[in-house]
Amino acid sequence: MRNDDIIAYIFENMEEKLKHTTRILLIASVFLASVFSVSAQARRPVTIKLASLVPENTPWGGGLNRLAGEWAAATNGEVKLQVYHGGIAGNEDDVLRKLRMNQIQAAVLSTVGLNLITNEIMTISCPFLIRDNAELEEVLNKIRPDLEKSLNSKGFHTMAWSRAGWIKVFSKTPVYVPADLRRLKLGTPAEQPELAQVFKLMGYQMVSIHTNDILVAFNNGTIESVYNSPIMIGGLQVFGIAKNMASINIAPVMGGILMNDTAWRAIPARYKPKLEELTRKLEREMDSSIMKLENDAIAAMTKYGLAVNTLSPEQEYLWYQDIGRAVPSLFGSTMDRNLYEKIETILKNFRGKRR
């Protein structure tokens, strides 16, 4: 082989090797770029914006702030919880719409908001169905998986539940039996139209009132009674004119913390069990705090003139009969028949053991 041929052969082979080396370097650079990109994304914090109607200077407000710190610590800052207190994100209709659009990622919703997702929630708050804290605990322990499955099937992940006390009747004159309440104009929170429908079917004189207008409505005679939580009534100073509270529990005040599926999927899987554990811990703490807050509110109102009208078992039974006549017409539109019957069975067994 001539020298010229040898040189040409060497250059041809060098050129081929350079092309091969270039291809390897190009593939390697693309691979490394993708690795660094994924790594950068993994380090980028996931921010969860959580909306709450509850003011910051309440047990719930303080608890949510504490939860934000716990989430950050448990995830080394990779998951940040940003809380919007006191209805800054809007009412529950607004919040639910923003949740679905992922403008916010999580929310504390009351029975009203949860009921917009599934009417099974309203079933728990059917008047006089669940009658005390022990019964509520028993029912929730049994049906919680069903409720969470229902909510989760609608595009959400249930993080925790909250129990915020009991709805009771407050009135200008004493109320012991249904006939006493039927004589009075009964204020119903405009934010709870489903519960108003229940009382309307039971034959009461319903007047829709926004919660913040309750005191004015009592003063100008628009209403003579109202059902609401003692905590809310205490805060609104309504007990100065509605000086009577019936001892019977109408319904539990329920709520929950939901996250939309988009946000839940964005959280690294290794952190999810711990975040759920921390949120459930908050649930237990808030249940205890709210129960104490309700008892304190009733004690304070009693000190300033509220009369607690204690019903006898016979008088309580009249209320249970009253709702029993209305319940069949509520299935489908307001409540879920299957869940109602399941709760009835749970309570029948539980009450039998308590006797």
| pLDDT score at 7 | 43
| pLDDT score at 180 | 96
- Structural domain includes residue 266: yes
The count of structural domains within the chain is 1
| pLDDT score at 20 | 52
Query: Which amino acid is present at 281?
Result: K
Q: What is the rounded CA–CA span in Å between residue 146 and residue 144?
A: 5
- Structural domain includes residue 347: yes
- Structural domain includes residue 36: no
pTM over 0.85, yes/no: no
**Cα(first)–Cα(last) distance of the chain, in Å?**
110
- The residue range of the domain holding 290 is 45-354
Tell me whether residue 33 is exposed, middle or buried, using C-beta atoms within 10 angstroms of its C-beta: 0 to 12, 13 to 18, 19 or more: exposed
DSSP H helical segments within the chain, as ranges? 3-43, 59-74, 92-100, 111-115, 120-124, 133-152, 178-182, 193-201, 214-219, 230-236, 261-266, 272-303, 313-326, 337-354
| pLDDT score at 171 | 95
| pLDDT score at 211 | 78
Contact 129, 195 (CB under 8 A): no
- Structural domain includes residue 173: yes
**What one-character-per-residue DSSP string does 286-304 give?**
HHHHHHHHHHHHHHHHHHT
- Structural domain includes residue 249: yes
| pLDDT score at 219 | 92
pLDDT digit of tens for each residue in the chain (355 aa)? 554 554 444 445 545 544 554 454 445 444 444 544 444 444 678 999 999 888 888 778 888 999 999 999 999 999 999 999 888 888 888 899 999 999 999 999 888 788 888 777 788 888 899 999 999 999 998 998 888 888 888 899 999 988 878 999 999 999 999 999 999 999 987 766 777 777 887 888 889 888 778 899 999 999 999 998 898 888 888 888 999 999 999 999 888 899 999 999 999 999 999 999 999 999 888 888 888 888 999 999 999 999 999 999 999 999 998 888 878 877 776 778 888 899 999 999 999 887 7
- Phi, psi dihedrals of residue 169, rounded to the nearest 5°: -95, 130
Q: Which two tokens stand for residue 42?
A: 């993994």
CATH number at residue 98: 3.40.190.170
- Structural domain includes residue 37: no
**What one-character-per-residue DSSP string does 152-207 give?**
HTTTEEEEEEEEEEEEEEEESS---SHHHHHTSEEEEETT-HHHHHHHHHTT-EEE
- Structural domain includes residue 138: yes
- Structural domain includes residue 18: no
Rounded to an integer, what is the distance from CA 111 to the centroid of its chain? 7
Q: What is the rounded CA–CA span in Å between residue 77 and residue 45?
A: 7
| pLDDT score at 15 | 52
